[in-house]
Each structure stands twice: as structure tokens, then as C-alpha cells.
Amino acid sequence: MRHWRENRGTAIAGFGEFETLTLPVAGAELTITFLGTRNDVDKSAIVEWVRDTADDIALAYGRFPDPSANVVVIPVGNSLERGDAPVIFGRVVRDGGETVELLINEDIPIAEYYDDWTATHEFSHLMLPYLHGGQRWISEGFAQYYQNVLLLRAGRYSEDHAWQKLYDGFERGRLSAPGLSPNEAATSDERDTRMKIYWSGAALALMADVELRRRSGGAESLDIVLDRLQQCCLPSQYTWSGRELFTKLDSLIDEPLFLSLYRQYADASDFPDLQPLLQRLGVTVDDAGIHLSSDTELAPVRTAISTAASH
């Protein structure tokens, strides 16, 4: 059952004079607000980076997933743990409309922002509705999958680099919290469950994407299903369960797939064994790193995943 989201004070509140502008991006208008930016900061360069990142998200299905999202940019220098990163922290706040909050280190050159995945990850969250905390492994995992796929499609990652990052992430997920299922990890007080949470959902996203493309001969994909989800149901004012989300996704395709994946893996402590699938995609690894082959059964599927579809 869906529930109205409760407002527990998670909305962003600011007081004072702030610079706000409206930015048209692929099929949407983003409202960007700068909080506390120094006068010597090149805001126009930051705005251009936000625009380019939003355009990268549109490489999934041709438009930005929320037609009227907000972006709040908060410069914090290098005062936090990831102070050497351009984007130190990001999150999506859904109370009062969808807002992406980005804490940035304004002292880092803007060119380095384009190599940072944080904003791409946060924007990717908008392709799904808000999920109950116990299923946040799905939302985090789908965003984890798409941050790598979209940065590859945008040309910011090479194909080797993107699949290396995916492979390494799946390995971290496999080794993380081996006794916990994704549902358990998402609600556990145990430490070191983060990689299980982030990469279990990414594994399901990859499996679903490959199977949709394989069985349809390329006529369907995860991109296409999420496009249909956006058209029917997003942005949503509800908190969804993982089972409800996957049931809805199954209703948007001819042959069910998503709920069976949920039933198989959501409560299983074993991480999905992706090695056979990766090998069929032409992705192998040795001590030297990733090797990509074009001679395997599903290599064309890998190429399709790596390439933005025309819309």
C-alpha cells in the first residue's frame, strides 16, 4: 500500500537573500539556488556544469525525469571529509517537491567537476519514486548503475573505465555484509553494509536491463521501462515499497520480470552471481584489469547499454 510521505523536517530551509535562476534543460526547467556563494565564484560555470549533468541524465530516455526540480548549491569549501572532491555531498529531498542538494568545494577548478559522479548519481534518483527506507537498496542501486552508464554514454567515461567501475562495485557488494540480505542490510544497525545496499540494486538493474534487451531484440530496455514509469507515475507524492515498484514496472512490459528478481534476491543473503552474465556480455577480468570482447553472445547488448538511444 502506498502512503503519503510524512514531513519529518527533511525539507531544505534557508533564510536571507539568495541567488535563484531558472535553467531550461532537456524537457524540463530546473530552479537553481545558490546559498552563501562567495562573490569571486564563477556561478555561470557551475550553472553550465549543472546543465551538462542534467543533459547527461536525459541520455536515459530523452528528457530530464522531473520537469520542475530544484537544485540547491551550497559551497562549503574543503571543510568536510571529502574536501578534496568537487562535490562533497549530495542528496535528494522530496518534501515540498523534488530538490537535489549539492555541497561543493568552490575552490576546485570547474573542469574537475565533470569527472565527479555525485551529481549524476543524485539526479539519477529522480528516475524512481521515493522508496521506503527498507528498500533503499533499490533506489541507491539503480542510481549507482545509471551514474556509470550515463557517464559512459556522455563520453566522460571510456567503456573500459565504466565496466571496470561496475565490476569493482559488484565485487564490493559481494564482499559486504555477507550474512545479510539487501532488505536486512537496508535496515540493519551493523556497520559496513553500505556496499551491499548500493550494489545489490545495481546488480538487479544490470540483470533487468540485459534481459529486457536480450528477449526483445533491443525493442525494450530499462531506459524504456523507466520512461514509461515517468510518464505514468512521476513525480510521485507517495512512499513506495520495493514490491510495489517492481509490480508497477512489470505492468509496463509484456512479460513480467522485475517482481521475480525482487523475490529471488531481496531477502537472499548471497549476492547475485554476475560472473556468467558478465562473461556473456564480453566482460572478463584478470590481474591487469577489465577486458572487453566483441565476440560473445551478449556483446551487442553491452554495446547498446553503453550507447545513448535516439529519441
CA distance 165 to 105: 24
pLDDT digits (tens, 9 = 90+) for 197-218: 999 999 999 999 999 999 999 9
pLDDT-based confidence at residue 8 (cuts at 50, 70, 90): very low
**pLDDT at residue 78, rounded to an integer:** 75
CA distance 136 to 8: 18
At residue 292, what is the residue type? Answer: L
Strands 19-25 and 28-34: antiparallel
Among 215, 205, 48, residue whose Cα is nearest residue 127: 205
Instruction: Answer yes or no: is pLDDT of 75 > 50.
Output: yes
Instruction: Answer yes or no: is pLDDT of 80 > 90.
Output: no
> What DSSP string describes 66-130?
-TT-EEEEEE-TT-STTTTSSEEEEEEE-TTS-EEEEEE-TTS-HHHHTT--HHHHHHHGGGS--
Grid cell listed for 168? 569493482
**pLDDT at residue 116, rounded to an integer:** 96
Instruction: Answer yes or no: is pLDDT of 7 > 60.
Output: no
**pLDDT at residue 41, rounded to an integer:** 79
Max Cα distance, the chain (Å): 60
At residue 5, what is the residue type? Answer: R
**pLDDT at residue 310, rounded to an integer:** 62
CA 209 to chain centre: 14
pLDDT-based confidence at residue 9 (cuts at 50, 70, 90): very low
CA distance 204 to 173: 12
pLDDT-based confidence at residue 311 (cuts at 50, 70, 90): low
Residue partners of 39: CB distance under 8 A and separation at least 6: none
> Is the bond preceding 235 in cis, omega lying within 30 degrees of 0?
yes
- Say which residue the cell 558478465 belongs to: 278
pLDDT-based confidence at residue 31 (cuts at 50, 70, 90): very high
pLDDT digits (tens, 9 = 90+) for 111-140: 999 999 999 999 999 999 999 989 999 999
Q: Where are the alpha helices (DSSP H) in 126-193?
A: 136-153, 159-175, 182-187
Average pLDDT across the chain, whole number: 92
Q: Where are the domains of the chain?
A: 3-127, 133-306
What CA–CA distances, in Å, run from 199 to 135, 167, 192?
Answer: 13, 10, 13
Grid cell listed for 48? 553550465
CA distance 146 to 31: 23
Please, what CATH class does the domain formed by 3-127 belong to? mainly alpha
Among 207, 205, 225, residue whose Cα is nearest residue 278: 207
- Please compute the mean of the pLDDT values over residues 57-81 and round it to a whole number: 91
pLDDT digits (tens, 9 = 90+) for 271-296: 999 999 999 999 999 999 999 999 99
Among 173, 166, 132, residue whose Cα is nearest residue 151: 166
C-alpha distance across the termini of the chain, in Å: 34
The strand pairing partners of 286, in sequence order, are 289
Which segment of 73-77, 199-203, 234-238 scores lowest on mean pLDDT? 73-77
